[in-house]
Structure 1
């Protein structure tokens, strides 16, 4: 058996991200999932780019504020206390719009963990569309 307590405030956020990001995966010694905490001010996006994952499922649980998730099917507004789930090969871009009145905080879970699984997606470009691979 194993147990760990991790305080996200003790995890140093990298400077090269578009919002505050703290990866809890390593500090929690997790092998089967990736776990991250994000805090995005109005106008900031959560991931580095519009993307999809080839094999990873993702789930965003909104702790406070309202998360906007842009997809080819439209933009989803996810309020605090709600979960947004993303299947593999489903393009998305999570962000806090410039027009937002507050910061958005969320917990993001991805499984299986995969550091090289993200594929850039360019809306309107068929060569970046995962559904075109079928």
Structure 2
């Protein structure tokens, strides 16, 4: 058995600095079978850097405080305080704080305590193809994200 206070978990932010507080609970406690991250999102901040999917994990978000907006392929979904939303592997989404108030919430992923970077795809605009297309994602040795267009293989590094 292991126990930890959320405030005792070090803050680790996304390399693109899209949120100011993310505490990787699963890493702090050595989870092996699912991921758990605590977030505090100020107005305009997001859970991730944009529309993406995990092919190797389902994702569940619990909003403890505030309201989160998720953009999905089917449109916009609002998740209120004490509500939960689930995304199956392969479902594209991005969640963000579109309100004037702080959001407190948790993101869970399973199976596995961490997703495989090779199993993640982001939808971003490709300057070469001049269209929003799927991009593979990898973490560079410097801690930045490298996105590679699945159509033209053009790469861009963020963060």
TM-score (norm 2): 0.72
Q: Does 1:128 align with 2:129?
A: no
Alignment root-mean-square deviation, CA: 1.8
Which of the pair has the greater relative contact order for Cα pairs under 8 Å at 6+ separation? 1
> Within 1, Cα distance between the matches of 2:124 and 2:76?
15
1:90 aligns with 2:88: no
1:72-120 CA-to-partner distances (Å, cap 9, x unmatched) read 11111000100010001100000001xx131111111100131413211
Q: Give secondary structure in 2 for the equivalent of 1:89.
A: coil
| Contact 2:36-2:108 within 8 A present in 1 as well | yes
Counterpart-to-counterpart distance in 2, 1:48 and 1:28 = 25
- Distance in 1, matches of 2:124 and 2:75, equals 14
Residue equivalent to 2:53: 52
Q: Per residue, is there more strand in 1 or in 2?
A: 2
Deviations 1:20-44 (A, max 9, x none): 1110112122100011001101111
Query: In the alignment, which of 8, 12, 20 is matched to residue 10 of structure 1?
Result: 8
Q: Distance in 2 between matches of 1:68 and 1:87?
A: 17
Instruction: Tell me the TM-score normalized by structure 1.
Output: 0.84
- 1:50-80 CA distance string (max 9 Å, x none): 2101120000000000011111111110001
Map of 1:22 onto structure 2 = 23
Q: Report the equivalent of 1:76.
A: 77
* 1:128 shift after superposition: 1.8
Long gaps (5+) in structure 2: 126-130, 136-159
Other structure's SS at 2:95 match: strand
